[in-house]
Amino acid sequence: MSSTPLHLDTSFLIRAFIPASVESSQLRSWLNEGRKPVMSTIAWAEFLCGPLSDEHLENATLIVEEHLPFTSEDAALAAELFNNTGRKRRILRDCLIAAVALRQGADLATSNQEDFERLGVPLAL
C-alpha cells in the first residue's frame, strides 16, 4: 500500500460511478489496498453541483471520508499556477484543486490527466 495521500478530482469520482469504467476499477483496487481517498473542498463542491443521484451522494460520502480545506497558502499557489499556465478561465478550478494536492504531497486521480500534468501534479495511475 502506498503511503502517499490519494486525492480524487471531480472528473474521476463522477466516472468511478460508471460500473465498467477504468475509474471504477481503479478506485475499487485502491480501496481494496486500504488507500483512503480524500478530496479538496473545491473538488467536493464541484461534485455536489451534480447532477447527482441520492445513491451516488451516499456512496461518495462513504468513499471520501475527508474533505481538505482550501487555505491561503493554496490560494497563493493556485494563483501562481494559473498565471504560469496562460490565465485561461477554464483552468482556474483545476489550479485550485491542484494547489491542495500539491500542498499535501498527494497523487491526484483524475480523468483530465493532461490538464493536471501541465500543472505539475503527480498523478495516481
Domain total of the chain? 1
Q: Is position 125 within any domain?
A: no
The proportion of the chain whose per-residue pLDDT surpasses 90, expressed as a percent, equals: 90
User: How far from chain centre, in Å, is Cα 1?
Assistant: 19
- 60 — phi, psi (to 5°)? -65, -40
Among 7, 48, 50, 55, residue whose Cα is nearest residue 27: 7
pLDDT digits (tens, 9 = 90+) for 1-45: 677 899 999 999 999 999 999 999 999 999 999 999 999 999 999
Residue with the bigger pLDDT between 89 and 18: it is 18
User: How far from chain centre, in Å, is Cα 61?
Assistant: 14
The proportion of the chain whose per-residue pLDDT surpasses 70, expressed as a percent, equals: 99
Mean pLDDT across the chain: 95
Q: Which DSSP helix (H) or strand (E) runs through 13? A: helix 10-16
Question: Which CATH number covers residue 18?
Answer: 3.40.50.1010
Report the pLDDT averaged over residues 80-100: 94
Whole-angstrom Cα distance, residue 68 to residue 43?
10
Residue 36: give the domain boundaries: 6-118
